[in-house]
Amino acid sequence: MKTFTRFGLTAALVLFLGLSAGAEDRKVIEKKDAKEPTTDQEFLTHALACNIAEVKMGEYVAKNAANPDVRKFAQHMVDDHGKARDKLLNMARDWKLGVFEGLDKEKQDRFDALKKLKGSDFDREYMRMMVEGHEKALRELEKWSTNAKDEKLRTLTREMIPTVRDHLEQARKLHKTL
């Protein structure tokens, strides 16, 4: 049975966490993955881990953001990324890939760093992360919508692109208002 690669689990939070916290927290948050997915399985595990992390982060932000529009946006992320997560989970099961729905240490450290922020700093940083993360996600989806060897994966990534574009547009608009 194939299992998630360490890369797939490590990549999740990079998609949307890049917080501006204290210097020590910033070191944890700015750590980037050195490796891009190179196979359909790696991309699937990467995308799944990103959506799992997006849901977990969104749930926290929806309850803790100061700005009601940020809370609403975060809930929208929970809803949409939850649907994407479910589709990716089904594909992972079809491919007999193991599924881990928690956060690895790196992602948990980043999540903990976000939790240290409060009020408008928290809101601004979350929205900045959403802009950066959705820009990266859009690039990755566009790449894999044509480069994936598996037709079902290409189709799924093509289906996700409009939603991610919409998220990016919403995130940019909201980020500018904060």
Residue 47, domain member (yes or no): yes
Where residue 84 falls among pLDDT bands split at 50, 70, 90?
very high
- pLDDT averaged over every residue in the chain: 82
DSSP code string of 112-166: HHHHT--HHHHHHHHHHHHHHHHHHHHHHHHHHHHH-SSHHHHHHHHHHHHHHHH
Provide the phi-psi class of 117: left if phi over 0, else alpha when psi is between -120 and 50, else beta. beta
Where residue 30 falls among pLDDT bands split at 50, 70, 90?
very low
Q: Which pLDDT belongs to residue 71?
A: 98
| pLDDT tens digits, one per residue of 141-162 | 999 999 999 999 999 999 999 9
Token readout for 121 is 């700093």
| pLDDT tens digits, one per residue of 8-26 | 433 333 333 333 334 344 3
Residue 106 maps to which CATH number?
A: 1.20.1260.10
Residues of the domain holding 83: 6-177
What total number of domains does the chain contain? Answer: 1
Q: Which pLDDT belongs to residue 29?
A: 40
According to the per-residue pLDDT averaged within each range, which of 16-25, 51-60, 107-116, 140-149 is highest?
A: 140-149
Residue 1, domain member (yes or no): no
Residue 13, domain member (yes or no): yes
